[in-house]
Amino acid sequence: EFMDLAPYQPGDDVREIDWAATARTGSPVIKRHEATANLQVMLVVDTGREMGALAPSGETKEDIALTACEAIAWLSVARGDQIGLVAGDAERVRFMPARSGNAHAETIMRRIEEDITLSSPHSDVPKLLARARTVTRRRSLMVIVTDATQPEPTRLSDDLIKSLSVRHQVILVSVEDIDPTSLDEGTNVVDVTEGPLPDFLLRDSQLAGEAANLVAMRRHAVAQLLDKRGVIRVDVGSSQEVPRALMRALERGAHVR
């Protein structure tokens, strides 16, 4: 927004010269503008118990999700953008309106960290997205952060994805699961949904292959739906992969916007 006029200094943008004021004063004068947020960013974060499980790197998926959210929040603050939050699981959804400033971004990060626990209710990404659809009419960058097994293709409607992608630029950050069959024999493996897994199940190569095929089919079904609606998806298996993955996603988003 326009703030005031000031004498032109070497290095100032010549496009900001106010020619009428320059003519009146006899020396170059530029318009100075107050920094304003030029983008609204909404973090849409799955805080179900599945996010407390392990990723391929050995980190929790929560750790990787927090890394992704911190990166987006930092970029938003650095640019002067507004950032908000929709976070939830099958029983609760938290909404924080988009605002600018470091303090607000830090509050968002604390809320995400508080909400993801192994005692949280299960994930419900369709419910989360349905809430995200209602929180703002302003075109935004929506960054969805969830588990690689989410959203379940049988519960994800095309209308829901379409309504989000028509109004907003949507990026989905999918945090991958660790492969329990890759762990050393004798490792105590506890599924956050099913509980402890017996060792003989983990060593059954046929069962492991069938499970991998099922996961691949589900992910393919979701990918087809997201691709159809122009949603950009990136997969991450460690915190280290997050910066490059987000840069790829943001570059693709800028290209198609």
Express each pLDDT in 149-187 by its tens digit.
777 766 778 899 999 999 999 999 999 988 766 655 555
One domain for residues 26 and 52: no
pLDDT-derived band of residue 69, with 50, 70 and 90 as boundaries?
very high
One domain for residues 105 and 207: yes
Give Cβ neighbours of residue 154 (< 8 Å, ≥ 6 apart): none
One domain for residues 88 and 157: yes
Q: Percentage of the chain surpassing pLDDT 90?
A: 49
Which ranges of the chain does DSSP label H, i.e. alpha helix? Answer: 19-25, 61-79, 102-115, 125-132, 158-167, 199-202, 205-228, 242-256
One domain for residues 27 and 62: no
Q: What is the pLDDT of residue 62?
A: 95
One domain for residues 20 and 70: no
CATH of the domain at 131: 3.40.50.410
Q: What is the pLDDT of residue 142?
A: 96
More confident residue, 22 or 82: 82
One domain for residues 86 and 191: yes
DSSP annotation of 241 reads G
Give me the domain span that covers residue 151.
40-256
Per the prediction, the chain carries an average pLDDT of 84
pLDDT-derived band of residue 112, with 50, 70 and 90 as boundaries?
very high
Q: In this model, does residue 104 exceed pLDDT 80?
A: yes
One domain for residues 23 and 117: no
Q: What is the pTM of this model?
A: 0.77
Q: In this model, does residue 65 exceed pLDDT 80?
A: yes
Q: What is the pLDDT of residue 208?
A: 66
One domain for residues 8 and 61: no
